[in-house]
Amino acid sequence: MPPFPTKNDTLAKKKEGKSKGKLRAEFRKKHQGRVRTSDLTREFQQDVSSRLDDAAHGERLSGKGELTRRKTIAGADNAPRGSDGLQVEVRVNEAQLTHGRVLSVHGRQSKVQADDGRLYACAVRQVLKSLATDQRGVVVAGDRVWFRIEGREGDDGQSGRRADEVVTGDGMIERVEPRHGIICRTSRNKQHVIAANVDALLIIASAAEPGIKPTLIDRMLLTASQHDIEPVIVINKIDLIDPLRLQALVGVYASLGYRVLTTSANTGQNLEYLHAFLQNRQTALAGQSGVGKSSLLNSIEPGLALAVSTVSVENQKGRHTTTASKLIPLARGGAVFDTPGIRQFQLWDIEATEVAGLMPDLRPYVSGCRYPDCLHLHEDDCMVKDAVADGRIDARRYDAYCHLLEDDLLSE
């Protein structure tokens, strides 16, 4: 015979039924406290009110206003905490919404392509914008979203035109699906997600004008490894130099198992191979300004007419022609992210002790060090430093590792 329910069991069941479908979530704090804390009049009033504390000892303070940054969201669940940092997933009626993917974000408006190919200009539901996250924005290019169509839809007239040329209606994004494969960096102490749901990352460098930056390549390789994205190193503008000058550098990355491709938008070298690689996947192109990302896309997909510019003669730095990430569907299948040029790529959510484990040439020796938290810089009995001395780890790669830790992660 089952035991009779106790009073605590009854209260717990009522509480569970009452809170079903609700979640306490952190929100951004809209209203800040007063800046002036030394006002004499206010101090006098506070002093007077403090004398009445005994009379108000029976009052209860509820978590409102400045006392809390948490609110209750009806119809929300705990979402798995992934690499995007989101903590809340709002439940919606999918039968009443339209599914699509975000092509670009400009201010408060997002261009969303529905699964049927139609394009909508969408705003973001206020509850999503208010959620406190570590990100600069809630919605980014590549996100899979559910949105509500608002207003009238007309004939889009897209016959013979690209899908991103004509907007057929307005919408409201109600929910963002969990992400995989994000490209992100640190910007103003927040996570700047450049692209989401990325399958492969083309790390674009240039043989000249501007010159190649191995440290930037290494940072992007770490990010790709952290988020399980397939990286490909593309060295563009190979027609400007003698390819033998890059043989040693290419050999180092190739020996580590990375795919390295030399290209030229001017001569067409390896562009057909690159086009074949882009099919049936979402691929992000990332690199510093002026390396030729937009030029490569224009050569691969005729008709895009992406803006391009020359490199400054004075400082050998490229000019920003792409100002925001954009997801571009390709005619032969797949899609590519055209991203803004990056001059600094500061890692996000990677600790100094994790870097060696993300580098395939250092990883086999990490567990052999004397200290479990060894940074492989100045510690004794370090297996990584021994491997460098014996020639089992390329000295240039170890130097890049040291610069990454000392100039970026350990200088904060």
57 is in an annotated binding site: no
Token output for 236: 């563009």
Contact yes or no for 133/86 (Cβ under 8 A): yes
290 is in an annotated binding site: yes
106 is in an annotated binding site: no
288 is in an annotated binding site: yes
Query: How many angstroms separate the CA atoms of 99 and 148, rounded?
Result: 9
166 is in an annotated binding site: no
391 is in an annotated binding site: no
294 is in an annotated binding site: yes
Alpha-carbon distances of 119 from 80, 115, 146, 160, 279, rounded to whole Å? 30, 9, 13, 15, 22
Residues 6+ apart with CB under 8 A from 338: 285, 293, 294, 297, 306, 322, 325, 326, 328
71 is in an annotated binding site: no
127 is in an annotated binding site: no
Contact yes or no for 343/289 (Cβ under 8 A): yes
Kindly report the length of the chain: 412
Closest by alpha carbon to 259, among 295, 288, 291, 283? Answer: 283
Closest by alpha carbon to 100, among 171, 198, 161? Answer: 171
Instruction: Give start and end residues of each alpha helix (H) in 197-334.
Output: 214-226, 247-255, 271-278, 293-300
142 is in an annotated binding site: no
92 is in an annotated binding site: no
239 is in an annotated binding site: yes
Which backbone phi and psi does 319 adopt, to 5 degrees? Answer: -95, 145
58 is in an annotated binding site: no
Closest by alpha carbon to 222, among 374, 326, 81, 352? Answer: 352
Binding site members for Zn(2+):
369, 374, 376, 382
Residues annotated in the binding site, as ranges?
236-239, 287-295, 369, 374, 376, 382
Binding residues for GTP, as ranges, are 236-239, 287-295
